[in-house]
Structure formats: C-alpha cells, structure tokens
C-alpha cells in the first residue's frame, strides 16, 4: 500500500477478510481472544506471536484504524487511545520522568495546557512556553533536561502557523524530540513526520471521524517511541473502544473528499467576509492577508476547515451574533459536517487570564467557525444575516 496515493490508502488498507469473505470489514466487539493450546497463549504473552490477547492491548478493528493512520501520516507505528487527550496524556507519561522539561507553544489546546500547569508540577516536570509567532525564541528555551518540543499548527483557535521544518531542525540540533498535534490539518493537508517530526498526535474526534459521533485519539511515529507509549497505554487502560476504531476506520475512507469540501467552503466564506464592515479581522491560512500565508503554502495542501472572525464591539456584539445564527449551532466541537461556532474567550479559553488570552490572539470579539459541508451559500447567508 506504501506505493499508493492517499485516497487509495485510506480506502483500500483493510484487514484481511475473514472466512465469511465480507466486503466491508466487520466490527470485532470482543474483549478477549481464545487460544487453542496453552503453548499458544504462552507465546502470545511473551511477544513470540502476533496473536490477539485482550482488547485493552490490541484488537483487529483498532489495528485496522491504526495501520491506516500510519500509512496516511507516513509513520512506522501507532497506538489508538480513547480520546485525543488520552493520546496526549499517554504519550507524555510514557516519555517523561521526574526532573524532565518540555518546550511547547503557548497556544496549545486548553486541556493540554491544564496538564502542563496543573499536573506536571506534581510530577516534577516543568514546561516553557514559546509564542508561535516567534520561532526564533524556541532554541533559547531548550535545557539539558528538555525531552521534547510540542506544538500545534494551525493553532486553536487563533489559526496561527509555524514552519515545521524549521522547528524540526532545531529539535535535531539539540537532540530533543518534536511532537506535533496535527488535529486541525489532518494528514490529508499536512504530514509533519515527512517534515521531521518524531511523533504526531490526533484527536480523531474531530476531522478523522468528521461526523460528530465518536471520541478517539491516535499517536503515530517512530517505532521505539510508539512501543513505550503502547505499553503504558496497555498497562494503564485508556484504550480505544473497538467500536470507535471501526467507525473511525470507515470515516477515514472519506477524509480526502470531506477535507477538500471543508477547505473549499472555508476559503469561500473567508473571502466573502474579508471586506465585511462589521468585522475587524478574518483569519484563514490560505487568504493572502494571513500573516503566515507563505508557511501555509509551503507545508499545507489547503487551508483547512477553520476560520476565525473578529467582530467589532467585542464580547457584547459577539454574543449577539452567536444568538442570531439560525442554522449554525454553538458547540465546543469542530471538524464536523455541520458548521459550528464557538466564542473561545468565554468558553474553551475562559480559564486563562485576559493577558494569557491576548498573548495567543484570543481577543473578546474572536469567534471560531468550523466550516461544515452544508452548501457554502447557506453557511455564508446564515453568517451574513446574523452580522446584520
């Protein structure tokens, strides 16, 4: 499958057919597996065979999903976990020990920020933040005890970008790992491992499922790192449900066509809103006006499905706008077939101080719109009527 194109890999990499010769692969809802002999069970437990043992460890449905993500990201190995946060936390706990330090972009997902600030101190693990706008500040933050650089690009919710090849070169120079949360871009638009990242993490809950049905997370990358993460997950238990893996494996079959449409709709809405007098700013990586447009062109196939708008008049006007939307719903999720809006300053990022919010571009009038797959005219018209 390695010689095939993305779309073909996403559709054709399936587990082997069973004796029933099914066309679409079945769901393996079983918590454990049986052995014909005591010797077979002994061999499986001692890593001398690939036989399935127990679904907290591995399961055929999970393997199909993981193998597919590995192909799409160009990774050697991977592990599926119960949610994006399970993938992030399991990765951290498998790789870090007391006394370690990490360097991260400050505009990380809210729950990831909470791990750094609330739980890392208990474990004597420290972190230093860099601003995504200032890649040259990263090198100065690296210490002898630094284990990895962690980042998201495009960032949530301000849609800022960083040059992955540049950060990978710093990581290599200082012999630290580079870990990328690639949730916003998906492997269809950006493949960080090909640009030098060691591990890539996804909240599969977002675009990978893309239809707002299941939670899931996955981490892929270098085999020896993934083995440690797999073992930690297998022992501590945040495994992905086989049902969710089965849903996600099928969802990936349509990732490319969905992303093409998300990107087409998002660019259309962003361009149409750019000159709107009610707005202070419209941000989308593939707009010429985006400050990181050249990075976007270099490392992304298209701009993704998320745009942000900044409404004149701050929070009060932003609230009125949200309440006036008719079709588009307010929800914390993103990457869905349905267009979704969020007001980050009052919800997902309300636990940050005003100063912290402003430093990562979250002004009171900022609204994140996850552009869905409805007709682009209907999405735009709902936004325009609410802006009036």
CB 388 → ligand PLP: shortest distance, Å?
31
Q: Binding residue for ligand PLP (CB under 6 A) from 55, 59, 83, 251?
A: 83
Using the minimum distance from each CB to ligand PLP, give the nearer residue, 44 or 178: 178
Q: Which two tokens stand for residue 370?
A: 């996850």
Please count the other Cβ atoms lying within 10 Å of the Cβ belonging to residue 172: 13
Please count the other Cβ atoms lying within 10 Å of the Cβ belonging to residue 40: 14
CB 111 → ligand PLP: shortest distance, Å?
6
Report DSSP state, residue 103: E
CB 81 → ligand PLP: shortest distance, Å?
9
> What is the separation, in whole angstroms, between the first and last Cα of the chain?
51
Using the minimum distance from each CB to ligand PLP, give the nearer residue, 109 or 321: 109
* Secondary structure class of 178 (helix, strand, coil): strand
Strands (E), the chain: 77-81, 101-105, 126-130, 146-152, 177-181, 199-203, 217-221, 279-283, 306-311, 329-330, 340-342, 366-370
Per-residue mark of binding to ligand PLP, 86-125 (x: CB under 6 A): -----------------------x----------------
Q: Which two tokens stand for residue 183?
A: 């949730």
CB 95 → ligand PLP: shortest distance, Å?
17
Q: Which two tokens stand for residue 228?
A: 């440690």
368: contact with ligand PLP by CB under 6 A: no
User: Phi then psi for 200, rounded to 5 degrees?
Assistant: -125, 135
Q: Total residues contacting ligand PLP (rule CB under 6 A)?
A: 13
361: contact with ligand PLP by CB under 6 A: no
Phi/psi region, residue 21 (left: phi>0; alpha: psi -120 to 50; beta: rest), is: left
Tell me the β-bridge partners of 79.
Answer: 219
216, 209 Cβ separation under 8 angstroms: yes
CB 198 → ligand PLP: shortest distance, Å?
18
* Secondary structure class of 197 (helix, strand, coil): coil
156: contact with ligand PLP by CB under 6 A: yes
56, 47 Cβ separation under 8 angstroms: no
CB 214 → ligand PLP: shortest distance, Å?
9
244: contact with ligand PLP by CB under 6 A: no
84: contact with ligand PLP by CB under 6 A: yes
Q: Which two tokens stand for residue 154?
A: 């495009």
| Region 165-194 residues binding ligand PLP, contact defined as CB under 6 A | 181, 183
| Region 203-242 residues binding ligand PLP, contact defined as CB under 6 A | 203, 205-206, 215, 217
Using the minimum distance from each CB to ligand PLP, give the nearer residue, 200 or 269: 200
Tell me the residue nearest to ligand PLP as measured from the CB: 84
CB 203 → ligand PLP: shortest distance, Å?
3
Residues that bind ligand PLP (CB under 6 A): 83-85, 109, 152, 156, 181, 183, 203, 205-206, 215, 217
């Amino acid at each position: 499958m390695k010689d095939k194109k993305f779309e073909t890999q996403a559709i054709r990499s399936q587990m082997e057919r069973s004796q029933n010769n099914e066309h679409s692969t079945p769901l393996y809802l079983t918590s454990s597996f049986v052995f014909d002999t005591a010797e077979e069970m002994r061999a499986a437990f001692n890593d001398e065979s690939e036989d399935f043992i127990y679904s907290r460890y591995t399961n055929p449905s999970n393997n199909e999903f993981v193998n597919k993500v590995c192909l799409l990201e160009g990774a050697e190995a991977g592990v599926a976990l119960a949610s994006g946060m399970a993938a992030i936390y399991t990765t951290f706990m498998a790789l870090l020990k007391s006394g370690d330090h990490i360097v991260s972009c400050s505009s990380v997902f809210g729950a990831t920020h909470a791990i750094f600030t609330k739980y890392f101190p208990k474990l004597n693990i420290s972190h230093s933040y860099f601003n995504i706008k200032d890649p040259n500040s990263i090198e100065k933050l690296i210490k002898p005890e630094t284990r990895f650089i962690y980042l998201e690009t495009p960032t949530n919710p301000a849609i800022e970008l960083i040059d992955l090849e540049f950060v990978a070169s710093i990581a290599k120079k200082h012999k630290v790992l580079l870990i990328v949360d690639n949730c916003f871009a998906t492997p269809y638009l950006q493949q960080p491992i090909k640009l030098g990242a060691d591990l890539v993490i996804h909240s599969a809950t977002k675009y990978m499922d893309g239809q707002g049905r299941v939670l899931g997370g996955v981490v892929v990358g270098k085999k020896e790192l993934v083995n440690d993460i797999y073992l930690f997950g297998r022992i501590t238990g945040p495994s992905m449900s086989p049902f969710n893996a089965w849903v996600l494996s099928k969802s990936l079959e349509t990732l490319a066509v969905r992303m093409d449409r998300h990107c087409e709709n998002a660019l259309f809405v962003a361009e149409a809103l750019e000159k709107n007098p009610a707005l202070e700013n419209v941000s989308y990586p593939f707009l010429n006006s985006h400050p990181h447009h050249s990075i976007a062109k270099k490392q992304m196939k298209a701009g993704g499905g998320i745009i942000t708008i900044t409404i004149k008049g701050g929070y009060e006007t932003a609230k009125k706008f949200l309440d006036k939307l008719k079709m588009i719903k307010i929800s914390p999720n993103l990457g869905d077939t349905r267009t979704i809006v969020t007001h980050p300053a009052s919800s997902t990022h309300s636990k940050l101080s005003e100063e912290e919010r402003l430093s990562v571009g979250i002004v009171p009038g900022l609204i994140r719109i996850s552009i869905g797959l409805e007709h682009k005219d209907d999405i735009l018209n709902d936004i325009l009527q609410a802006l009036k």
